[in-house]
């Protein structure tokens, strides 16, 4: 659905731009290609690493590791898995729901979801290209601390 | 010749992992195949979403003046600029790594660092389609609690990050964005 909106918006704007100024539009397309090609090597590498990792860590394995009574260890594990991999949300949420059903705690799940979305060790090379090493590391660290806080809050206090 | 060398150098890590994956495919056919299937699926998804984003960015770069963006989200844009950055991130789709090129253009157009970090935080966590998905799989009250925490968390992280970025580092980031 979103993809259609995206392509629709792009087409409309592209046509509008083309009818107004062909030269500028060509320049825009050239810039688009240049910046796309620029991140391709990192992106390909990232996708390969994610593919390899997800093939090893299947659903059953994650469920058994984050299961009930896994406590702090399960929390730490959730953080590690979540920080390394980047799984799109529409895969992550159903996975989280099935993990909850399988007996995982809210703390572990919150840790998993939050680090999954905000901390990306594998994608750091892409991030560094735009923000530099130091700021990239800081952003990921802050996000990680935040993940710990919200997991303890939701898992340890509210959904106890 | 020079060109080839450059290409090989840029894609060397990709080559290394490709070889590793091929070795895995050779020793553990099942695992290797699974891995390639997942990679192909992710690649397909990426190639669907990312090209239009880059075309839109190219158009934005060509048509929107730096002064305009600075007025809306620059250093003196205040709460309105922050709100705009937040909404922009929430309305987006695609994985977090697609957000970085967009952030790069925002930087190039002189958007305040705090607003750029807000944008990234919103892109990562408060996307509208994802929230609907979260409600259906984890329930409304869980989504709502997490959403409120995220709101506070994103603002806090953006604030701390801006404070923790020294002047010369800040200049370097803006300089890097000029080369996009």
Instruction: Give the domain extent around B37.
Output: 1-49
Please say if the pLDDT value at position B1 is more than 70.
no
Which tokens belong to A140?
A: 């990921």
Give B136-150 pLDDT, tens digit per residue: 778 889 889 999 999
Do B120 and B157 lie in a common domain? yes
Q: Does residue A51 belong to any structural domain of this protein?
A: no
User: Mutate which of B15, B19, B35 to test chain A, going by most A C-beta atoms within 10 A?
Assistant: B35
pLDDT for the residue A156? 76
Q: Give the chain B residue nearest A113 (alpha carbons).
A: B125
> What CA–CA distance (Å, rounded) separates B83 from B80?
5
Say whether B34 sits in a helix, a strand or coil: helix
Q: Does residue A1 belong to any structural domain of this protein?
A: no
Q: Does residue A95 belong to any structural domain of this protein?
A: yes
Chain A residues touching B161 at Cβ < 8 A: 135, 138-139, 142
How open is the CA angle A110-A112-A117, to the nearest 5 degrees? Answer: 95
Q: Which residues contact A4 (CB under 8 A, 6 or more apart)?
A: none
> What CA–CA distance (Å, rounded) separates A118 from B122?
10
Q: How far is B114 from chain A (nearest CA, A)?
A: 12
Do B81 and B9 lie in a common domain? no
Q: How far is A77 from chain B (nearest CA, A)?
A: 20
Q: Does residue B57 belong to any structural domain of this protein?
A: no
pLDDT for the residue A160? 62
**Measured between CB atoms, does A19 come within 8 Å of chain B?**
no
Do B75 and B8 lie in a common domain? no
Residues shown for chain A: 160
Q: Does residue B169 belong to any structural domain of this protein?
A: yes
Give B89-121 pLDDT, tens digit per residue: 887 766 777 889 889 999 999 999 999 999 999
Task: Name the one residue in this structure whose structure tokens are 């997800």.
Answer: A54
Do B172 and B144 lie in a common domain? yes
Give B9-58 pLDDT, tens digit per residue: 889 989 999 999 999 999 999 999 998 998 898 788 778 877 888 898 88
Number of domains in chain B: 2
State whether the Cα torsion B7-B11-B16-B19 is positive or negative.
negative
> What CA–CA distance (Å, rounded) separates B118 from B122?
6
State whether the Cα torsion B86-B148-B50-A133 is positive or negative.
positive
Instruction: Give the domain extent around A143.
Output: 57-158
pLDDT for the residue B20? 92
> Is B31's CB within 8 Å of A55's CB?
yes
Q: Does residue A135 belong to any structural domain of this protein?
A: yes
Q: Does residue A27 belong to any structural domain of this protein?
A: no
Q: pTM of whole model > 0.90? A: no
> Is B137's CB within 8 Å of A93's CB?
yes
> What CA–CA distance (Å, rounded) separates A71 from A76?
9
Q: Does residue B95 belong to any structural domain of this protein?
A: yes
> Is B100's CB within 8 Å of A52's CB?
no
Count interface pairs A-B at CB distance under 8 A.
204
Of A99, A144, A97, nearest to A120 (Cα)? Answer: A144
Do B34 and B76 lie in a common domain? no
Chain A residues touching B150 at Cβ < 8 A: 150
Q: Does residue A109 belong to any structural domain of this protein?
A: yes
Residue in A36, A45, A86 nearest the CB of B51: A36
Q: How far is B171 from chain A (nearest CA, A)?
A: 11
**Measured between CB atoms, does A45 come within 8 Å of chain B?**
yes
How open is the CA angle A133-A136-A139, to the nearest 5 degrees? Answer: 150
Do B101 and B164 lie in a common domain? yes
Of B161, B94, B57, nearest to A10 (Cα)? Answer: B57
Chain B residues touching A51 at Cβ < 8 A: 21, 35-40, 42
Do B72 and B141 lie in a common domain? yes
> Is A48's CB within 8 Å of B150's CB?
no
Chain A residues touching B95 at Cβ < 8 A: 86, 88
Do B101 and B169 lie in a common domain? yes
The ipTM value here is 0.77
**Measured between CB atoms, does A100 come within 8 Å of chain B?**
yes
Q: Does residue B31 belong to any structural domain of this protein?
A: yes
Contact yes or no for A133/A104 (Cβ under 8 A): no
> Is A41's CB within 8 Å of B13's CB?
yes
Q: Give the chain B residue nearest A153 (alpha carbons).
A: B149
Contact yes or no for B155/A115 (Cβ under 8 A): no
Predicted confidence pLDDT, tens digits, chain A (160 residues): 667 888 998 999 999 999 999 999 999 999 889 878 887 887 788 788 878 877 877 666 766 777 656 678 888 988 988 888 666 665 677 677 777 776 778 888 899 889 988 898 888 988 999 999 999 999 999 999 999 999 989 887 777 6
First to last CA, chain B: 25
| Cβ neighbour number for residue B152 with a 10 Å cutoff | 12
With cut-offs at 50, 70 and 90, classify the pLDDT of residue B129. Answer: low
Q: Does residue A26 belong to any structural domain of this protein?
A: no
Say whether A77 sits in a helix, a strand or coil: helix
Number of domains in chain A: 1
Do B164 and B134 lie in a common domain? yes
Contact yes or no for B97/A46 (Cβ under 8 A): yes
> What CA–CA distance (Å, rounded) separates B124 from B89?
8
**Measured between CB atoms, does B64 come within 8 Å of chain A?**
no
Task: Name the one residue in this structure whose structure tokens are 């601390």.
Answer: A145
Do B40 and B106 lie in a common domain? no
């Amino acid at each position: 659905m979103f993809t259609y909106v995206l392509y629709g918006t792009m087409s409309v704007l592209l046509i509008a731009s083309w009818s107004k100024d062909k030269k500028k539009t060509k320049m825009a397309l050239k810039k688009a290609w240049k910046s796309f090609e620029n991140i391709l090597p990192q992106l390909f590498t990232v996708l390969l690493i994610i593919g390899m990792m997800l093939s090893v860590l299947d659903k059953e394995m994650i469920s058994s590791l984050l299961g009930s009574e896994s406590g702090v260890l399960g929390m730490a594990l959730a953080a590690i898995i979540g920080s390394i991999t980047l799984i799109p949300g529409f895969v992550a949420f159903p996975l989280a729901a099935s993990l909850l059903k399988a007996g995982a705690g809210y703390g572990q799940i919150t840790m998993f979801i939050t680090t999954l979305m905000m901390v990306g060790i594998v994608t750091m090379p892409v991030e560094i290209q735009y923000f530099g090493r130091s700021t990239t590391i800081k952003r990921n660290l802050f996000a990680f601390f935040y993940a710990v806080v919200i997991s303890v809050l939701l898992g340890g206090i509210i959904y106890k | 010749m020079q060109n080839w060398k450059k290409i090989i150098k840029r894609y060397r890590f990709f080559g290394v992992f490709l070889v590793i994956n091929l070795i895995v495919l050779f020793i553990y056919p099942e695992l290797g195949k699974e891995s390639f299937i997942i990679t192909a699926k992710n690649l397909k998804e990426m190639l669907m979403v990312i090209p239009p984003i880059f075309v839109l960015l190219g158009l934005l770069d060509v048509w929107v003046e730096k002064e305009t963006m600075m007025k809306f989200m620059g250093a003196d844009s205040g709460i309105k600029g922050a709100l705009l950055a937040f909404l922009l991130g929430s309305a987006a789709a695609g994985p977090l790594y697609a957000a970085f090129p967009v952030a790069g253009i925002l930087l190039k157009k002189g958007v305040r660092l705090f607003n750029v970090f807000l944008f990234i935080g919103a892109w990562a966590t408060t996307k509208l389609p994802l929230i609907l998905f979260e409600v259906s799989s984890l329930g409304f009250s869980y989504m709502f609690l997490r959403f409120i925490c995220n709101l506070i968390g994103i603002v806090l992280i953006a604030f701390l990050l801006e404070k923790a970025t020294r002047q010369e580092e800040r200049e370097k980031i803006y300089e890097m964005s000029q080369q996009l």
